[in-house]
Amino acid sequence: MGDVDLTTDDALDWDEWMGLSEAEQEAAVDREMAAYSRWYDGLTLAGQIAHCRRAALDNCLSSRRLIQASYCPEIIRQSSREQLKAAQVRLLKIRIWRATGSRPGSA
């Protein structure tokens, strides 16, 4: 993935976002969440599993990078260890979901 650079467009978007009222920000987030939910609900079961698995794997990788980084403070490393453990549990639940067709704990 690499480092993310804040481009001029991103800075302008951020300025616009910060210029919105709290209600406008909340409405924008609600619109985006509704669009995401429609997209996710439109996926097949295999697509949903793949999407969740990819997100959990990305979380594992980023947590491992932080744990191994020499410049990282210990409090961040500890938090990353907890996030890694949670992502690994999610991966296990996804494996069960893929094998059984139903999410663990949803019965």
Structure tokens at 49: 């599993």
Total count of domains within the chain: 1
Q: pLDDT tens for residues 50-102?
A: 999 999 999 999 999 999 999 989 999 999 999 999 999 999 999 999 999 88
Report yes or no on whether pTM surpasses 0.75.
no
The answer to the question of residue 77 being in a domain is: yes
The answer to the question of residue 10 being in a domain is: no
CA dist list (Å): 75 to 47, 72, 80, 86: 36, 8, 9, 17
Q: Which residues contact 3 (CB under 8 A, 6 or more apart)?
A: none
Residue 82's domain comprises: 20-100
1 vs 103, residue with greater confidence: 103
Q: What is the pLDDT of residue 8?
A: 66
Q: What is the pLDDT of residue 4?
A: 53
Answer whether residue 10 shows pLDDT above 80: no
